[in-house]
Amino acid sequence: MKQKAFVVLWALSVGLISGCQQLDNNSPQNATTPTIEANATINRQLAKQALNSTLAYDIVESLTVEVGPRLAGTEQDLIAVDWAVKKLTHLGFDKVYKEPVQVPVWLRGYASASITAPYPQPLVITALGGSVATPKEGITAPIIRFDDLQSLIEANAADVKGKIVFIDHKTERHRTAKGYVMTVGGRSKGAVEAAKKGAVAVVIRSIGTDHDRMAHTGMMRYQNDVVKIPAAAMSNPDADLINAMLKRQQPITLSLNLSSQNRGVATSYNVIAEVTGSTKPEEVVLISAHLDSWDEGTGAIDDGAGVAIVAAAGKLIQDLPQKPARTIRVVLYAAEELGLVGGKAYAKAHAQEMAKHYIATESDFGAGRIYQLDVKVNPEVVDKVLQEHALLSEVGVAPGNNNAYGGPDVSMLPKLGVPVASLRQDGTDYFDYHHTPNDTLDKIDPEALAQNVAVYAQFAYTMAQSTIDLRPLVQPKANQ
């Protein structure tokens, strides 16, 4: 069905639901009308409560003030776990518990860089997550610039050997994460590709859309059979500065010093809360976020906002006079920033329950308003599922497509047969603050945050009540 036509049906279905009381008693639809009416009434009630509540903002304010930055594997991480258990218990969920997760321990340490020739100037940098340190005296070497990761891969090794690789890939601004997806490979794979060609370090232009003199951190990866070299990100203005220097057509020498450390593993926890289903308690609608954050800011938009959204949505459903059919499970994952560690641990720990996971989603894209609902379900029921969420149009959400991935920590679940949904948020300014010291509470619009809660509460409740069979995700071929 064409998108424009479906939007019309979406809107019409709202009218049909709200007008269903007009059906006479002889109507063949009358037997299902009370359920439709009841669900519509409850969904509107949930939305109204969410839009008029400060609960989500209060939760993220509490997290950023009372805990602050919470890098996985650190003392602050465990403080965050304790905070989450107490907060969810205080909110009155039927069940609150935690599950242990082994997480990598990495400490940022000290980071500095400067241009030593031909125009000596300091630079603003930060170590990338997982990076090894430089020697204590640092590294000083000529830089070699590349437009992007692919240009580095295609470069002559003789040109790179002994130099510091500078990957200068600008992140474009989009409502979606499109720009980030295009540039993040330089961060995650740059050190490996540079080391393969004999580089002594790699420094990237920050993966961000801002013009602030702040560097964006984020996780990078090493490869066991490739030497590990230090990796850092510089602020966008400093990347521009280097480009201006390069126009003078003189060799540029950079000095880099990092004291970051990898310290093995530690125990953290996925924190879980449940609203027990009334008639199908063994079946799960999973709504989630990640509890950890980077250590530069206070983790307000990444992902304190998500924690607040799913906790507040779950609380609204918890307080209903009649619980929905399925269990609503709120999961706050550990160590997402260090490699989806909590998400992978959850999938492994709950492997025997995957068939009972009705649908899953994650909030991990800040606090911008949700504008579209995408799903990944049985292709034959996509239209039915989207129409079932017709009331979301009243809070500004349009029907989308069947191409959802669910969010980072649930992205592995479709391979296990679990349907997922993506509640698409407006991320136009998200990468201005992402992974920087500027990720703080003032970046959250309370009204937009409340709209997210309204959408998540309605989505979770509708899915917990749904009678649609969402599986299998891929239809078998006709000859099978």
pLDDT tens for 165-215 read 999 999 999 999 999 999 999 999 999 999 999 999 999 999 999 999 999
Mean pLDDT of the chain: 93
pLDDT tens for 245-263 read 999 999 999 999 999 999 9
pTM: 0.93
pLDDT tens for 9-44 read 454 444 434 333 333 333 333 334 447 788 999 999
Helices (H), 235-367: 236-246, 305-318, 341-349
Q: Mean pLDDT, to the nearest integer, of 359-381?
A: 98
- Contact between 391 and 329 under an 8 Å Cβ cutoff? The reply is no
Maximum pairwise Cα distance, the chain: 88
Residue 22 pairs in a beta bridge with: none
CB contact set of 151 (below 8 Å; sequence gap of 6+): none
Equal CATH topology for 3-105+265-465 and 109-259:
no
The pLDDT value recorded for residue 35 is: 73
pLDDT tens for 73-132 read 999 999 999 999 999 999 999 999 999 999 999 999 999 999 999 999 999 999 999 999
Q: Mean pLDDT, to the nearest integer, of 404-412?
A: 98
Superfamily of domain 3-105+265-465: Zn peptidases (3.40.630.10)
Rounded CA-CA distance 220/412 in Å is 20
Which residue, chain included where needed, has tokens 């998400």?
Answer: 343
* Strand pairing report for 326-333 and 280-290: parallel
Band of residue 394 on the pLDDT scale cut at 50, 70, 90 = very high
The pLDDT value recorded for residue 448 is: 98
Active-site residue, from 193, 283, 336, 388:
336
CATH class of the 109-259 domain in this structure: alpha beta
353 is catalytic: no
Band of residue 476 on the pLDDT scale cut at 50, 70, 90 = low
How many C-beta neighbours within 10 Å does residue 351 have?
10
Is the model's pLDDT at 473 over the cut of 90? yes
Q: In degrees rounded to 5, what are phi and psi of residue 319?
A: -85, 0
Selection from 385, 415, 327, 300 nearest residue 63 by Cα: 300
User: Percent of the chain scored above 90 by pLDDT?
Assistant: 91
How far is CA 236 from each of CA 142, 293, 480, rounded to the nearest angstrom? 20, 22, 53
Band of residue 478 on the pLDDT scale cut at 50, 70, 90 = low
Cβ burial, residue 106 (10 Å; 0-12/13-18/19+)? buried
The pLDDT value recorded for residue 166 is: 98
Rounded CA-CA distance 368/371 in Å is 9
* Strand pairing report for 95-107 and 231-234: unpaired
Where along the chain do its domains lie? 3-105+265-465, 109-259
- Contact between 190 and 204 under an 8 Å Cβ cutoff? The reply is yes
The 3-state DSSP class for residue 148 equals coil
Is the model's pLDDT at 399 over the cut of 50? yes
**Which two structure tokens, joined as six digits, stand for 301?**
């938009």
